[in-house]
Amino acid sequence: MSTRVPIDKVRNIGISAHIDSGKTTFSERVLFYTKKIHKIEEVKGKSGVGATMDFMDLEREKGITIQSAATYCIWNGYNINLIDTPGHVDFTIEVERSLRVLDGAVLVICAVAGVQSQSITVDRQMRRYNVPRICFINKMDRAGANPFRAIKMMREKLRLNAHFINYPIGAEDKYLGCVDLVNMKAYYFDGDNGEIVREEEIPASLLEECKKSREELVAAVGEFDDVVGIKYIEGKEVSVDELRTAIRKATLTLKFVPVIVGAAYKNKGVQLALDAVNYYLPDPTEAKNYALDQNQKEAKIELLSDFKKPFVGLAFKLDEGRYGQLTYMRVYQGTVGKGDVIFNCNNDKKLKVPRLVHMHADEMNDVDEAQAGDIVALFGVDCASGDTFTDGTIKYTMTSMYIPNAVMSLAIAPKDKQGQNTFSKALNKFTKEDPTFRVHRDEESAQTIISGMGELHLEIYCERIKREFNCEVIVGKPQVAFREAITQRADFNYTHKKQTGGAGQFGRVIGYIEPIGDNQKPYEFVDDIFGGSIPREFVPACDKGFQEAIKEGRLIGFPIVGVRVVLTDGAYHAVDSSEIAFKTAAIMGFREAYEKAGAVVLEPIMKLETSAPEEFQGSVMGQINQRRGIIVNSTTNEGFCVAEADVPLNEMFGYSTDLRSATQGKGEFTMEFARYAPVPRNIQEEMVKKHQEKRAKEK
Give the pLDDT score at 167. 94
* Residue 1 forms part of a structural domain: no
Indicate whether 169 and 107 sit together in one domain: yes
* Residue 86 forms part of a structural domain: yes
Count of domains in the chain? 5
Indicate whether 72 and 210 sit together in one domain: yes
- Where the chain has pLDDT below 70, the residues are 1-4, 42-68, 87-90, 321-323, 361-362, 400, 443-445, 500-503, 518-520, 699
Q: Which long-range CB contacts under 8 A does 54-61 form with residues at least 24 apart?
A: 54/24, 55/361, 55/362, 57/467, 58/460, 58/463, 58/464, 58/467
Indicate whether 115 and 14 sit together in one domain: yes
Indicate whether 273 and 304 sit together in one domain: no
Indicate whether 496 and 566 sit together in one domain: yes
Q: Quote the CA–CA distance of 636 and 465 in Å, as a whole number.
A: 41
Among the three residues 357, 373, 397, which one is the final residue of a domain in this structure? 397
Q: Quote the CA–CA distance of 491 and 512 in Å, as a whole number.
A: 4
For residue 427, which of 454, 402, 395, 449 has the smallest C-alpha distance? 449
Indicate whether 61 and 174 sit together in one domain: yes
Please state the separation of Cα 589 from the chain's center in Å. Answer: 39
* Residue 689 forms part of a structural domain: no
In our burial notation (b when 16+ CB lie closer than 10 A, e otherwise), range 265-304 reads bbbbbbbbbbbbbbbbbbbbeebebebbebeeeeeebebb
> What's 441's domain CATH number?
3.30.70.870
Among the three residues 235, 250, 280, which one is the final residue of a domain in this structure? 280
* Residue 285 forms part of a structural domain: no
Q: Quote the CA–CA distance of 381 and 548 in Å, as a whole number.
A: 35
* Residue 229 forms part of a structural domain: yes
Indicate whether 99 and 70 sit together in one domain: yes
> What's 19's domain CATH number?
3.40.50.300
Give the pLDDT score at 152. 93
**Residues across the chain:** 699
Indicate whether 163 and 265 sit together in one domain: yes
- Sign of the CA dihedral 211, 213, 219, 225? negative
Q: Give, in order, the Cα–Cα distances in Å from 98 to each of 79, 101, 135, 364.
A: 18, 6, 17, 19
Is residue 587 exposed (0-12), middle (13-18) or buried (19+ Cβ within 10 Å)? buried
Is residue 443 exposed (0-12), middle (13-18) or buried (19+ Cβ within 10 Å)? exposed
3-class state of residue 391 by DSSP: coil
* Residue 699 forms part of a structural domain: no
> What's 639's domain CATH number?
3.30.70.240
The domain in which residue 660 lies consists of 601-682
Give the pLDDT score at 2. 41
Return phi, psi of residue 535, to 5°. -60, 145
> What's 558's domain CATH number?
3.30.230.10
Indicate whether 75 and 128 sit together in one domain: yes
* Residues β-bridged to residue 72: 81
Indicate whether 20 and 123 sit together in one domain: yes
* Residue 536 forms part of a structural domain: yes
H-helix or E-strand spanning residue 648: strand 640-648
Among the three residues 331, 362, 397, which one is the final residue of a domain in this structure? 397
* Residue 696 forms part of a structural domain: no
Indicate whether 241 and 316 sit together in one domain: no
Indicate whether 258 and 384 sit together in one domain: no
